[in-house]
Structure 1
Amino acid sequence: MAFDYFSGAGHAWRRFAQIRLEDLLDQRGRERTRAYIAKRIARSSWGSFERRRWKYIERLFGQDRHQPRTIGIAVDHDR
């Protein structure tokens, strides 16, 4: 499959972007995350997938509705 800027570099890049945002918020807090995202966008070249990915992360950050990551452990609630 050829790389296509408009359809993305893979089917899961949006989920990985959401995970990256969650990690940044855990590590840096809200204000430092905002500054980090702006710096990454400024450093990426126009038209690159990297810029597109960080713009998507910025949009998720602005929506402020990221969901916590699940780690895949089954829990038995009957006990």
Structure 2
Amino acid sequence: METQIAFAFDSAQVANRFLNALKSSGIDNLKAKLFRGSEKVIVSYCYEDKGFDQTAATLDDLASRYDGCEISIR
């Protein structure tokens, strides 16, 4: 099942740093791009149905390193 999470950052520069960090994060099957402007990033990934999936928590931790926060997609 595909899941999407969006994050907001203080500036476009920080959002792009987050995008670059995702590329080297080692998390498999991620797709990420800027979302509704240059200060937000949307991340798509396939949720594993085998027990607890740590991906969302890992993404939240990485975003918090860049002072980002999860936002509603709607």
Q: Same fold (TM over 0.5)?
A: no
**TM-score between both structures, scaled by the size of structure 2:** 0.37
Between structure 1 and structure 2, the one with the greater Rg is 1
Looking at secondary structure, tell me which structure has more helix per residue: 1
More relative contact order in 1 or in 2 (CA 8 Å, sep 6+)? 2
Looking at secondary structure, tell me which structure has more strand per residue: 2
